[in-house]
Amino acid sequence: MFTLNCKGKLLSLEKPLVMGILNITPDSFFEGHISKGPEKIWELAEKMIEEGADILDIGGQSTRPGSQRISEKEEWERVLPVINKIRQHNQEIVLSIDTFYSSVADNAVKAGVSIVNDISSGEMDSDMIKTVASLQVPFICMHMKGTPDTMQQQANYEDVVKEVLDYFIAKIDSCKAAGISELIIDPGFGFAKTAKHNFQLLKSLSVFKMLDKPVLAGLSRKSTIYKTLNISAAEALNGTTVLNTLALNNGASILRVHDVKEAKEAVNLVEAYTRC
């Protein structure tokens, strides 16, 4: 059984957790929230909390394929009001910061965040790993090749499962050497992966249990779902629930989602099915 020490608040992963997504961006592929302002974003956060979210993941940078990078200053100016607004209303919910900038991670933890979620696993900012080690918070490491604006041109693998597994074996060693004690791995569905790669990773997700780390699955409303079904991201809730259920059945410890209620229902049903 895994646990996460989130700045003194202990999260048990005996039962899979649900992480709600708060995109503070104008150009997210689904539900960018920047134009709504901190008060409206708090209303969404409150809804997620009421629906059972265990973690809220706050991101100020769009990382969809081909997205344009913004500066760390602009990213911080986007997320700080949201962190403050949530903490003004709720001191208990665990917050995660979705960033590849070490300065944003550092400032966010000092402002009340207790998990760092980096799509580049420290590859895009050489100070990130030592910063997270000094902050002593859990670190979510995701597999990606290249950067969000180049990654889809690098979706080439001889064996995607083996290559991602080898990547994490090396990454776990380097994080441990730096002093990071709690690591969560994210195979990076949709990041430098084709739909076929994503399905192969999902089908083989249980292989990552050998790493002895919690596995996060971020499949929510992604193109693998809506392109396969020939629908839009807005119509991809049912498909998301199907893939989340497969991820849970194959060993995922955390689901990162836009739709908390449905994800919690999937967790509860898979738990009941497993224990009967």
Q: Is the pLDDT of residue 262 over 90?
A: yes
pLDDT value of position 44: 92
Distance, CA of 200 to CA of 196 (rounded, Å):
6
Q: Is the pLDDT of residue 28 over 70?
A: no
Angle between helices 195-203 and 160-178 (to 10 degrees): 70
Residue 3 lies in a domain: no
Residue 5 lies in a domain: no
pLDDT value of position 146: 72
Distance, CA of 33 to CA of 25 (rounded, Å):
6
Distance, CA of 6 to CA of 94 (rounded, Å):
7
User: Rounded mean pLDDT of 42-62?
Assistant: 95
Number of residues that this document lists for the chain? 276
How far, CA to CA in Å, does 128 sit from each of 47, 103, 135? 32, 8, 10
DSSP string, 169-192: HHHHHHHHHHT---EEEE--TTSS
pLDDT value of position 37: 75
pLDDT value of position 205: 98
Residues noted as catalytic: 222, 256
Residue 96 lies in a domain: yes
For a pLDDT cut of 70, what percent of the chain falls above it?
95
pLDDT per residue as tens digits for the range 190-233: 999 999 999 999 999 999 999 999 999 999 999 999 999 999 99
Q: Is the pLDDT of residue 33 over 70?
A: no
pLDDT value of position 155: 81
How many structural domains compose the chain?
1
Q: Which of the 8 DSSP states describes residue 215?
A: B
Q: Is the pLDDT of residue 273 over 80?
A: yes
Q: Is the pLDDT of residue 134 over 90?
A: yes
* Consecutive H or E run containing 98: strand 94-98
Nearest to 81 by CA among 131, 26, 116, 36: 36
- Please answer whether residues 61 and 75 qualify as being in contact, where contact means their C-beta atoms are separated by less than 8 angstroms: yes
Please give the backbone phi and psi of residue 256, each rounded to the nearest 5 degrees, phi first. -100, 115
Residue 29 burial (CB count, 10 A) = 18
Residue 218 lies in a domain: yes
Please give the backbone phi and psi of residue 64, each rounded to the nearest 5 degrees, phi first. -65, 160
Residue 68 lies in a domain: yes
Residue 1 lies in a domain: no
User: Rounded mean pLDDT of 131-143?
Assistant: 98
Tokens of 45: 């956060």
Tokens 């991809």 map to which residue?
236
- Please answer whether residues 188 and 119 qualify as being in contact, where contact means their C-beta atoms are separated by less than 8 angstroms: yes
Angle between helices 102-111 and 128-135 (to 10 degrees): 20
Range of the domain at 265: 11-275
Distance, CA of 71 to CA of 175 (rounded, Å):
25
pLDDT per residue as tens digits for the range 90-108: 999 999 999 999 999 999 9
Average pLDDT, the chain: 93
Residue 55 lies in a domain: yes
Tokens of 40: 């409206």
Distance, CA of 224 to CA of 57 (rounded, Å):
22
**38 pLDDT tier (thresholds 50, 70, 90):** confident
170: domain CATH number is 3.20.20.20
Q: 222 vs 147, which has greater pLDDT?
A: 222
**65 pLDDT tier (thresholds 50, 70, 90):** low
Tokens of 253: 């410890």
Residue 124 lies in a domain: yes
pLDDT value of position 35: 57
